[in-house]
Structures are given as structure tokens and as C-alpha cells.
Amino acid sequence: MFGIIGQSLLLATAQAAAPAAAAPASAPATLQQQFDAASDAAQDGKCSDAITAFEALEHNPAAMKSPVVRGAIGVRKGNCLVKLHRTDEGEAAIRSGLPAMVAAGEVFVGDVVNAHMGLGTAARDRFDYARAGDEFRLALAAGGPQGRFRPLLALSQVSIFDPGPEPLAYIDEASRIADATPSISKDFHAQLLTLKARILLNRGEKAEGYALLKDALKLQGGLSLKVSLSDVATRSDLAIAAMLLNKRDDARNYLVYTGAGRMDQAPFSRAENMDVPLCGSTSGLTPADYAVVEFSIADDGSAFGVQPIYSTGGREIALAFARAASRWSWAPAKVQEIKPFLRYAMRVEMRCTVAGARPQINEPLTSRFMQWAAPLLAGRTQGGTDGAVAARASALLDQSRKEGTDQLTVALLGMLGLNPVTDTASANTYLQEGLGLALSRNMPVETSNWLRFAIAAQRNSDKPAATRAALRELLPVVTATGDALAIDTVRLQIASPGYRLSAPVDAPTLREAVIADPALPRDHPLKINALLQSASWAAQNRDFSQAQQIFQQTGLSTEQCAFIGAAPAIRRTGVSSTDYPMEAARMGFEGWTRVEFDVDSAGRTRQQRALISYPPFVFSDAASAMAKDFVYESSYRPGGDTACAGAAQNIAFRMN
């Protein structure tokens, strides 16, 4: 370990200690010893301990006099922060320390290399592979002949989607270094072959990649019940290669030996928040593009270690899918049901959606609550995954309750009640507490009404008829407050059909009340929604002239309507046990798919396609075929145009 605390500082420390009458039984550690202990902890991967120790030194003016000391602490602490996914803090610390390490000369070459590796890792974690490559090349140049292996390996990983000779040159040189190093294990050689094969697959060299992966599998001992993360990676890549070569049975056989699709051992369900990127010119994605993305799930339900494995469209296409996956979150309670090993290196097949977030009936009411809460929450809970936001909000809630900051408490309770990773029972508890506090402190009626609505909607979210009954009980309560937005939201929610739940007999009266309400502007989303439902109602009763007249009042084109109008309710699925893919059943696979499609005005589906599938390639075709039999409520559209573009349903494949 570098002894970089200056000699004069050590002498000063010793002199300061000299007047003591008697040395204690255990003398306090010198600054040099503290620095060495922190550096050793960082080197051993004990980053939490290292950060604490480095921060103690940062608060010691004597230690921070030397620019070299400050620089070394910045780089070493920063690298630990990056490893703990505190990327922004880590990058800032590394950049603050790097100039001093460069100026200090050859003795600190290792710190310079580590600084660039840390900055490259931070960029990679932000999915800025171009910047990551720049930093890894700087590390390669700084390290000299003896320090090339780590940068070469990192460059191979961030260039797997790049054209040109460089990606293969990086992995080939790294492999030659490994071949010349007797201590490198067979398993590590297999990992290098797997990485090279991944580069080849993304270049369209499928047969060559498949052959390399088979060599890697041999080095790992073949298909067996012994499973490590590197085994899973090789077998999963073999499944991709086999599928690309149309060796479908071989692909499924390799997947069997990864543990994927075993829902009894790893009940991996869809995340509470699992959005996919939008197709179009902004993202550069087309409906034909797809990717296989790998990720792990942390204890708090957030996704980490996200990386694209295979993509049909190059680097930016692959990274667009990976960015979307990095924002996914699971409820922590569900995560605990998955065996720890099986939370790592999970993979899904992804495609983009042709429809953005379709407005929900309650969206204006919820947006109004969030506008009230935003100034109270400013700078406190924003940023990160749903799980991270929920964790920060929960910690702040305890503090806010103690301090009696009632409005902040209600805002936090509302945020936790809304958060997708909060389970239904806890969400209801948060919302009930928030409503009680809002009423007792005479907070704005708009705040109380949103909480009332959220409670009614949450209480029986899986029972549409019970939810409708709860909203009917709520309607006179909000009517008494005179809050037009809350009143019309409840009216329209009651009037709307749901899965196996027809519109009620008083739906026309409820919709007309929304349309005629002078408190809302003519183009308000609730009025547009009510008009579209009324037009469809008239068409179902064969009054097409009335339907046309009502539709014209929306001011929408049929194309706009297909994307922003309310999605029609599903009437039946036509799904039966015979729809389960025989090959998947034979091998014991279970999983799920989110399938997207358009719905025409007669309620039939068109353009069926899988958006997300787990495991990759197993259920995508079956789910798309099943969606052809779905039947939705008919909707009025002039000329019989598309009623709903980009509707979606989740399909679970479970064996009894």
C-alpha cells in the first residue's frame, strides 16, 4: 500500500502525542494507518467500510493538506461509490482526484488506471457506451503492457454491438493474455469465449458464435445440474444462437439448464412498473426490432446490472431497451419469494410499443394531487426506481410524523399509496391515514377527494363490480364538496365498462352529466372520454347518425382517437388449455408474455405482437396467436377505423 501521508505530517502527529503522561494500552491509529486501512478495505471489495473510513479522513484537516492525499482518497472512494451504484457521487469524486494522481507520476499509475476504469463503469451504468469506451481506452493507454487485461475485457463488453475490427481485436488480445497466464481457470476461458460469441451473434455470424459457445460449454463441463452464473450465461447465449439458427428444440433444451421458466422455484412475475420503449423516430426503434436484456433484482425490488445481450439493430437500439429495463421495479415482498441465485442474470425478450401511455380516467385527478404535493416533496424523493423512491419516502415519513409536518406527511402517504411497489393492503393503510390527517387538519378539499377516490379504487382493485359499488357510495360524498373534477371522475369511472363488467344502466345519464358540466372546459380529457363512450353506445344501438354527431364533438381525428381514446373493455379471451405450447409443456416451462395489438371498431384484434416475454423465445408466438381470439367491446369510429392502437394484455402460462 502506498505510504503517501507526508513524513512531516507523521512527525507532527508523533510530536503532538509526546506530552501525554502515559501511552494508552491501545494507541489510536495514525493517519497513515487509517489511510492504509481504508485503501485495503477498498481493495478487498469492502466498499461500505472503505467509504466510511475515507470520509473520516476527509473530515481531518491534517490529512487533507496534501493534494496527493486528497486525490487518492477521491479516486479510491469514488471507485467504491460506483461499485455500490452511487454513480453520480462516485464519478464526481473520481474526477476531483484524478488530476492529482496524473500529476503525481509513475508511482500512482495504478490509481490513474482505476480512475478511468471507474469513470468508464459509471458511463456504462448510464448506458453511455461510447463514453465508457473512451474511458476504458484511456485506462488501456495509462496501464502499459502489464495492465492491459482489465481494460481490454471492459472494452469487449461495451463494444459487442459495434461494427469494425476493434471489438474482436479487444477480446482476442485479452484471450491471448489469458492463454499465457497459467492461473486463469477453464471457467474464465469459457467466459471469454462466451463474450466473443456474443460479439459474433450481434454481427450476424450465427454459426460461428454457436460453435464458440459449444466450446465454452465443454470447458464448463457440459450440460449438468451444476449451475454458476457463468454457466447460466453460456447456456442462455446458446439458446439465443440456436433460436437464430432455427434449432428451436436445442434452444429450449439449453434454457432448461438455466433454471429459467421454473415458476415453482422462482415465481418471477411482471414488475409493478415494466414499461417498454416507444417505437418511432425519437427512439429509432421499429416494431420489427427486438432485444434480449439481462438484469438482476435487488432486495428493494429495483433492477440492477442491466445489460443488453442481443439486439437486431445495433448499439443504440440495444441500449434503448436496456434503459427501459433499468427503470423496472418489483414489490420487495415478491422479490423475497425468488431464490437469491435466481434473481441474478434474468433475461427477457423485449420489443417497443406503438402506443404511449394511454390516459386513464383518474389521471387529471391524480395530476392535481401531485401538483399540490410537488412543492412539499421537492428535492426529497425524486429520482431512481420506484423501489428507491418508496424507500426514501418511507424514511422521510417517519421523520415527518415525529416533527408534525402534517402536509408533508399527507404528501408522503399519498406518494406511498400510489407507488407501484406498495402492496394493496399497505397502500390502503397509507391512504386511510392520509385522509384522516387531511380531514382533521382542514387541508384543501381537492387533497381529501383524491385520497377518497384512491381508497375506493384501491380497496377492491381486482374486483371491478365491488370497485363500482364503492365509487357509488363515494359519489354523494364528493358531490357535497362541489369539487367538479372529483365528481366527474367518479361519475365517469362508474359509467365505464370493465373486464366482464358491462356499463351500468345509468351510464348514459352519468356520461351526459360529465359532458354538460360547465365547470370543465370543452376539450377536457374527461369530456372527450365521455363523448367517445357515448358515441360507441349509440353505435351499439344502431343509431349511427347520432354516433357520428357525438364523435364530431370530440374534435379528434380517428387516428388521434385510436391512440388517446379510452381502451375498449375486453369481453372474452377465448383462451383454453390447448393454447399452451406443447414444446414448452413437454419441457416444463412456465412464464408470461405481454402482448400488444390494435382493436378494430368491431372489437377484433389486429397486428398482434409480443412486447415482453419470459423466458425469451418460449411463449412469444403462442401469446400472439392467442391474442387473435380476444374480443373487445365494439367502438364507434367513422368508416370502421381502428378503435384502439397499441392495446395490451398480460398472458400467464402456468402448469397445474
Whether the pLDDT of residue 380 is over 60: the answer is: yes
Least trusted range by pLDDT, from 381-390, 475-484, 538-547, 573-582: 381-390
pLDDT at 597: 84
Distance, in Å, from the CA atom of 491 to the CA atom of 212, rounded to the nearest integer, reads 62
Cβ atoms 611, 552 nearer than 8 A? no
- Helix boundaries (H) for 404-522: 406-418, 424-440, 445-459, 464-481, 484-495, 507-516
Torsions phi, psi for 30 (to 5 deg): -70, 165
Q: Which CATH superfamily is domain 1-12+28-158 in?
A: Tetratricopeptide repeat domain (1.25.40.10)
Residue 293's DSSP bridge partners are 308, 348
pLDDT band at 9 (very low <50, low <70, confident <90, very high): very low
Q: Kindly tell me if the per-residue pLDDT of 386 is higher than 90.
A: no
Instruction: List the domain boundaries for the chain.
Output: 1-12+28-158, 181-258, 290-351, 363-520, 521-656
**The pLDDT value given to residue 470:** 92
* pLDDT number for residue 293: 96
Q: Is the dihedral of CA 417, 420, 423, 425 positive or negative?
A: positive
- The pLDDT value recorded for residue 11 is 25
Interval 209-222: pLDDT, tens:
999 999 999 999 99
Answer CATH for 363-520 from 1.20.120, 3.30.70, 1.20.80, 1.25.40 = 1.25.40
Nearest by Cα to 331 from 298, 300, 297: 300
Q: What is the pLDDT of residues 190-201, one digit of tens each?
A: 999 999 999 999
At residue 641, the pLDDT reads 62
Q: Is the pLDDT of residue 267 over 70?
A: no
Q: Give the pLDDT band of residue 4 (cuts 50, 70, 90).
A: very low
Higher pLDDT, 4 or 576: 576
Q: Is the pLDDT of residue 392 over 50?
A: yes
Examine domains 181-258 and 363-520 and report if their fold is the same. yes
pLDDT above 70 coverage of the chain, percent: 89
172-186, 297-311, 348-362: least confident range: 348-362
**CB-CB contact of 555 with 523 (8 Å):** yes
pLDDT digits (tens, 9 = 90+) for 564-623: 556 677 777 877 777 888 888 888 888 889 998 888 777 888 888 899 999 998 889 999
pLDDT tens for each residue of 19-72: 444 445 567 788 888 999 999 999 999 999 999 999 999 998 888 888 999 999
Distance CA 213, CA 229 (A): 15
Structurally, at CATH architecture level, domain 521-656 sits in 2-Layer Sandwich (3.30)
Closest to 72 in 3D by CA, of 58, 62, 85: 58
Which pLDDT tens digit goes with each residue over 66-79?
899 999 999 999 99
Q: Residue 479: its pLDDT value, please?
A: 96
Distances, alpha carbon 371 to alpha carbons 108, 368, 446, 481, 489, in Å: 51, 5, 11, 20, 17
- The neighbouring-strand residues paired with 547 are none
Mean pLDDT of the chain: 85
- Spell out the CATH class of 181-258: mainly alpha
Provide the pLDDT for residue 446.
Answer: 95
* Cα–Cα distance measured from residue 549 to residue 539, given in angstroms and rounded to the nearest whole number: 11
Determine which of 123-137, 193-207, 469-483, 542-556 has the lowest per-residue pLDDT on average.
542-556
What pTM did the predictor assign? Answer: 0.76
State yes or no: pLDDT of 114 exceeds 90. Answer: yes
Mean pLDDT along residues 392-421: 90
